Amino acid sequence: MRFCFIVEDEYRRQSMPMVIARHLSQSGHDVDLLEPTKTVTALWDLRRQLYDAYILKTVADGPGLCVLEAAEAAGIPTINNSRSIRLVRDKSLCTAYAYAHGLPVPHSYFVTDPHLLRKIPRESYPLVVKPTNGSSGRGIYLVNSPARSLRRPKYAERVSDFFLVQHYVKNPGYDIKLYVIGKDVFAVARESPLHPEVEVAHQLLPVKPAWLKLALRVGEVFGLVIYGLDVLETRHGPMVVDINDFPSFGKVPQAVSLISDYIVRFAKKARMKRGWLPFALRTLRSTSTRGQHVRSGNGLAR
């Protein structure tokens, strides 16, 4: 099968998703790398590239999502789909969508500047403030009173930085990361960015029935197939505080094989549904070194 990995600059030298691309190539599949900042993408030619799927691990506001959307417009399967990625990449949009579909998330507000926190009733404090386009736990801080809320955090220097503000929910002081590959769910304990004093050994945890149900429900609501969610254990049950597409899958055993196998199954199922491009046509494009390496498309992506 043929796959195209859209790789943002930030991830070119990181293990994920490059390790997945290499594994698929070593398993005999054709894998091309498309780096949006180094490639001229021929939009009129996407359909003729004969890829079974495009795969994207993107950064917030990255150009890779535009290429993924173009591939979808040409009728090519993608992992994850662009609508799902956009839903979770903007934290305010993600939270509103989660509310609308009955997912357990903290009461939240959208503000353009932390000065506006003084308009939130004092009894709502403490509050958790995070950038709406943040990732990897960066830029999250706890506001205990309106007095502190008047100071703009140092990381938020751009005018375009907006904020998601959530009621702080009492929890044991650590996060539970739920990683999902299709219908397989894995749980890992992680340090909380709000409680650095609580030491947590990153380790795989038994998946509780409530976690499993919640993780799969998130996938159904957002249309994700490879994703992760940060969950807090509260007296009211597990609560979702973040959702992300294509996370690192740290500490998940055999994650590379599991993700690679899922991508292949996904693409085969999509091919059967499409019923187009018979095998003879698919072999027209010459691949003299088929399945032996990962090709990087740094010029014209045709």
Give the range among 3-12, 28-37, 215-224 with minimum mean pLDDT: 3-12
Q: Which of the pair, 258 or 48, is modelled with greater confidence?
A: 258
The reply to whether domains 2-80+253-301 and 107-167 share a CATH topology is no
- Mean pLDDT on 213-218: 98
Phi-psi region of 37 (alpha: psi -120 to 50; beta: other; left: phi over 0): alpha
Confidence of residue 12 (pLDDT cuts 50, 70, 90): confident
**Rounded alpha-carbon distances, angstroms, from residue 254 to 20, 228, 260, 299:** 11, 16, 10, 34
Give the span between the Cα atoms of 187 and 255, in whole angstroms.
Answer: 13
The more confidently predicted of residues 11 and 184 is 184
Cis peptide bond prior to 17, omega within 30° of 0: yes
Higher pLDDT, 47 or 158: 47
CA nearest neighbour of 226 among 245, 241, 211: 245
- Asked whether residue 61 carries a pLDDT value surpassing 90, the answer given is no
CA atoms within 13 A on the CB side of 294: 22
Decide: pTM greater than 0.85: yes
What does the domain layout of the chain look like in residue ranges?
2-80+253-301, 107-167, 171-245
Identify the pLDDT of residue 152: 53
Domain 171-245 architecture: 2-Layer Sandwich (3.30)
Between residues 133 and 153, which one has the greater pLDDT? 133
Q: Which amino acid is at 31?
A: V
Average pLDDT over residues 226-230: 97
What kind of fold does domain 2-80+253-301 have according to CATH? Rossmann fold (3.40.50)
Determine the 3-state secondary structure of 79 from DSSP: strand
- pLDDT > 90 in the chain, percent: 61
The confidence score (pLDDT) of residue 13 equals 83
From 3.20.20.20, 3.30.1490.20, 3.40.50.2300, 3.40.50.300, which CATH number describes the 107-167 domain?
3.30.1490.20
